[in-house]
Amino acid sequence: MSTENEGNAVPSAPSAPSTPPVPPSASTPPQDAHAAAHPAPEPPRTPPAPAGPPTAPLPTAPPAAPPAAPPAAGWPPPPGGPAWGAPLPAAGGPPHKRSGGGLVAAVLAAALIAGGVGGGIGYWAAERNDGSTSSTTVAAGEAPAGFKREPGTIAAVANKALPSVVTIEAKAGGSAAEGGTGTGFVYDKEGHILTNNHVVASAAEGGTLSATFSNGKKYDAEVIGRAQGYDVAVLKLKNAPAGLAPLPLGDSDRVAVGDSTIAIGAPFGLSNTVTTGIISAKNRPVASGDGSGAGRNSYMSALQTDASINPGNSGGPLLDARGAVIGINSAIQSAGSGGLGQSQAGSIGLGFAIPVNQARTVADQLIKTGRPVYAVIGATVNMTEEGEGARIADEGENGTPAVVPNGPAAKAGLKPGDVITKFGDRAIDSGPTLISQIWTHKPGDKVTLTYERGGKSTSVEVVLGERTGDSD
């Protein structure tokens, strides 16, 4: 995964909503609020014709001696009669039977008019917001003003974690064109930031580094220590602000395939991007280049995730469903690259993260001494052969012995040509796989190692040695 921003202009983001969007799983299907508040009445039915003779049209002028009879149902009273809404005068004789259809029409008309007036008044009062205590109409179906997401939802986890994630900008010394964008997260309250080595490598010698928080505040930073082999680096903010909230660290040994994951980073420079997925596999041996072309690789027994990870996500946290860091996003498999590493191609759902248990050990060592410490077996293995284990080479680099005299492998009886097939409880199929497994341990650990020689399999105990610093 390349940390270089491709230089594409990023369009201005729209104004962020006051609250994060409701995730689809927690929302209800949209509906029309007005329809929910006032179901559309059925159109009034035409009153059936009365059984008797047809009603005569209303006269234009009252007769000399008008009979005392109530007005026809469903029609307004004649001029001079009671006003709309006033009670009808009591009739002297027995009431006449009315057509039910006319009464229903009048009631529906009144309801429609009253509803329209009430709704209009309610809207006007809400718009005026004059603090009046009079009753207003409230439309049903509106989202409550105090809507809160339950703890454990993706939105809740992301909202809590984002303020502790930073976008890192690295610029090489003397050349503004070299550098890139990556991600990191707050490691402690003293202002240490944990990220990948390949994110900051271009600026480690005389360059400049800055870290920008999700609130837009930007701080200069410096490298405290970096481990090229582990692909881990620690920065420290200059003039770190008070109140930093370190992200909680989980236990990557207890992660299970299928667990939910949340990745936060700045893919292609798009800061504060959140993606989700699951743990697709564990203990995946990964050798990734630093993009320099110098052949300096990093090795990890990685957590594999299908959460979308792209260039710029490097160094960002991989969270579990509780919001605890379980890994540092570091590399992707890309269809365009043909291999594992920091390629400029995009995600195809194969991302790899350094387990946080290993990253924490490395970070603590870097903060303490500024230099990484690696566990070693004291033997040079072939790094190109695959499938049948890790074969110890005939000789080491620059003509040195392949098995270091008096080293861990020599003390265990290993010789050049031996093929290491198992390390602890992990099967070994290549040199990179062996190194990635060795580096999950600490110097001094005792590990059972199985090797083949002349068709015979032998298991021995190896006490791991140590190497301080990165080899050139």
Q: Tokens 């993260």 sit at which residue?
A: 353
Q: β-strands 317-319, 273-289: how paired?
A: unpaired
Q: Is 314 a catalytic residue?
A: yes
- SS3 of residue 184 by DSSP: strand
- SS3 of residue 12 by DSSP: coil
Exposed, middle or buried, 221 (CB in 10 Å: 0-12/13-18/19+)? buried
**Ramachandran angles phi, psi of 450, nearest 5°:** -115, 135
Bridge partners (DSSP) of residue 237 are 221
Q: Tokens 């990890």 sit at which residue?
A: 300
Element (H, E) at 160: helix 154-161
The single-letter code of the amino acid at 232 is: V
Residue 64, C-beta contacts closer than 8 angstroms, at least 6 positions apart: none
> In whole angstroms, what is the distance from residue 353 CA to residue 154 CA?
19
Of 194, 200, 211, 195, nearest to 178 (Cα)?
A: 200
224, 236 Cβ separation under 8 angstroms: yes
252, 271, 280, 314: the catalytic one is 314
Q: Is 192 a catalytic residue?
A: no
> In whole angstroms, what is the distance from residue 48 CA to residue 98 CA?
11
Exposed, middle or buried, 20 (CB in 10 Å: 0-12/13-18/19+)? middle
- SS3 of residue 93 by DSSP: coil
> In whole angstroms, what is the distance from residue 230 CA to residue 442 CA?
13
192, 231, 306, 334: the catalytic one is 231
Q: How many helices (H) and strands (E) does the chain have?
A: 7, 20
> In whole angstroms, what is the distance from residue 259 CA to residue 279 CA?
5
| Neighbouring C-alpha atoms within 13 Å toward the C-beta of 178 | 16
2, 164, 192, 198: the catalytic one is 198
Q: CA-CA distances (angstroms) from residue 126 to 145, 195, 278?
A: 14, 50, 45
Q: β-strands 232-237, 340-341: how paired?
A: unpaired
Neighbours of 452 (CB within 10 A): 17
Query: For the chain, how many residues are written?
Result: 472
Of 230, 245, 253, nearest to 326 (Cα)?
A: 253
> In whole angstroms, what is the distance from residue 49 CA to residue 54 CA?
8
What amino acid positions are annotated as catalytic residues? 198, 231, 314
